[in-house]
Structure 1
Amino acid sequence: MRRIYMNLAIDSGNTYSKIGWFDENRLVRYVTGLRFDEMVAAVSKEPGEKIIFSSVSYSPDDFRSALQLNVPVLRLSNSTPMPIGVSYETPQTLGVDRLAAAAGANSLFPGSDLIVIDAGTCITYDLIDAEGVFQGGAIAPGLKMRLKAMHHFTKRLPLIEEPQEAGLIGKSTVKAMQSGAVNGMAREIEGMIGAYREQYEDARVLMCGGDVSFFESRLKLPIFAVPELVLIGLNRILQYNDV
């Protein structure tokens, strides 16, 4: 007999999707790296009473049609009511993944200034103040993007598809590129945290994203690594909207 959870949070990217199963605020389990058909099969096997669906590639109609379940589905968009305030000059351009991560961070540490770092295709730095208002942040190239850019904009540097662990002093061109991308990005992260803390000195730092494992042990500053932060935020948004 399949188990029906209260809430399902689905984050569907350009290539892969991830799903979180929740009982109220408790994340029971989550899976990542699913293709669309695999994601639909997983949801069909263990559906939720309510679903929040965030996707850059598929519409809710695509999802409902494939799922064939009569379950309320909330599609996350820039116009979805949020459990946090948003102080952003162009809210219509604000990535919903950034909003979801911010909502997740605020639900974990309400009443605190928060720096949320998402290390994915791009690396984003966002500030949520103690009043629960998303203030904005910064967007920079992510780890794989840096490696690909070095190949694309030069004639002789090779293409490195997957980042690897890198020592500080690279003894080959490939290792030197790895060092520049990995260690340079780690120093950037520390510098950005320091800059934010000049204004918000007690801010907690939360980090998520596919490349968080490269940096969790490399950073000298204490951080909370929360790989499932976006899913936690999606569940919080679903609860707030009470569909």
Structure 2
Amino acid sequence: MSFLAIDIGNTRLKWAVYDAMHPGARLLAHGAVFIENIDTLAEDEWKDLAAPAAMIGCCVAGDAVRRRVEEQIEELWDFPPVWVVASSQEDEVVNGYDHPSRLGADRWVAMIGARWHLLNAGRPRPALVVMVGTAVTVDALDASGHFLGGLILPGHGIMLRALESGTAGLRVPTGEVRDFPTNTSDALTTGGTFAIAGAIDRMYRNLTARCGEPPSCWLTGGAGWKMAPHLGQEFELVETLIFDGLLHIAQRRAQAKLAR
């Protein structure tokens, strides 16, 4: 029984088909499209896929984008789309947001994926979950799986566009990260990278002080690999963290349904 997982972010839709409904299942197919191109999924990337038995996904791009994806799923296959939204609790993770339903679904699912990895390895300890994409999120879990809170800050692209629109003469090529930049391109790239790294380091120290031990650190997102070399802490780079969370949620919900 193959299973479709979908992650709709602010810039791209990522999808993957697995041979079973659990984290670690064998990957059968995968792909990604920019949001402006999602109307071609049914006639392009999904056209020749063997029909999955079910689907689960998360979406932060808005209702209109989600509906455009749903229409293509319904056109191709005979199952209802299932979308994860943040709730007060999902399995091992408790949501400490002031208004739990307002937490981004991708952040919620990524934390659930990180918690699954920790428990699967037999290490229930605090966790710092960082997603680097259009925006950057830095979220903290204590050792019991309680979400304590987190940060949202602009990704590299948004930072650069803000500087371009707010200053004169800063339309320059992307530079390199340098310890001591000596040109504007490198200064902009290094400034954005160090700003993100500094926010991550501050949350790392906050979580260590709160829990009395250093957290396990997880890095994901489309630009996670770009940040990895510039972080002061040791991070586990898991590009499939959201898919792992989605598969774990689907598995646990199916098990709960059978147990009723």
Please state which band the TM-score falls in when normalised by the shorter chain: 0.7 to 0.9
Change (3 A) 1:27 1:64: same
Question: Could you say which residue in structure 1 is the equivalent of 2:17?
Answer: 21
Structure 2 gaps, min length 5: none
1:134 equivalent in alignment to 2:147: yes
CA deviations over 1:64-120 (Å, ceiling 9, x no partner): 334x21134312223597222212111221100000101100111022211101111
1:21-64, Cα deviation, whole Å (9 max, x unpaired):
33232242363432424544444514322210223222264243
Please provide the CA RMSD for this pair: 2.4
CA distance in 2, matches of 1:91, 1:195: 22
CA distance in 1, matches of 2:58, 2:163: 32
Aligned residues: percent identity? 24
Structure 1 pair 236/164, CA: closer, same or farther in 2 (3 Å)? farther
Give the aligned partner of residue 54 of structure 1. 58
Contact 1:182 1:214 in 2 (8 A): no
Residues 1:228 and 2:240 aligned together: yes
What are the superposed Cα offsets for residues 105-144 of structure 1, whole Å, 9 maximum, x if unpaired? 0111022211101111111111122222222211112121
Aligned pairs (5 A) from 1:1-243: 4-5=1-2, 7-22=3-18, 23=20, 24-29=22-27, 31-34=30-33, 35-37=37-39, 39-40=41-42, 41-44=44-47, 45-55=49-59, 56=61, 57-59=65-67, 61-66=70-75, 68-78=76-86, 82-83=90-91, 84-110=93-119, 111-158=124-171, 163-200=174-211, 201-242=213-254
Q: How many residues align?
A: 236
Q: 1:63 to 1:134 in 2, by over 3 A?
A: farther
CA spacing shift, 1:226–1:65, aligned 2, 3 Å: same
Structure with the bigger RCO (C-alpha within 8 Å, sep 6+) is 1
CA distance in 2, matches of 1:90, 1:142: 24
Q: How far, CA to CA, are the matches of 1:82 and 1:43 in structure 2?
A: 30
**Which runs of 5 or more structure 1 residues have no equivalent in the other structure?**
none
Q: Matches of 1:182 and 1:213 in 2, distance apart?
A: 12
Higher helix share: 2
Q: Is the 1:112–1:130 Cα contact (8 Å) retained in structure 2?
A: yes
**Distance in 1 between the 2:31 and 2:234 partners?**
26
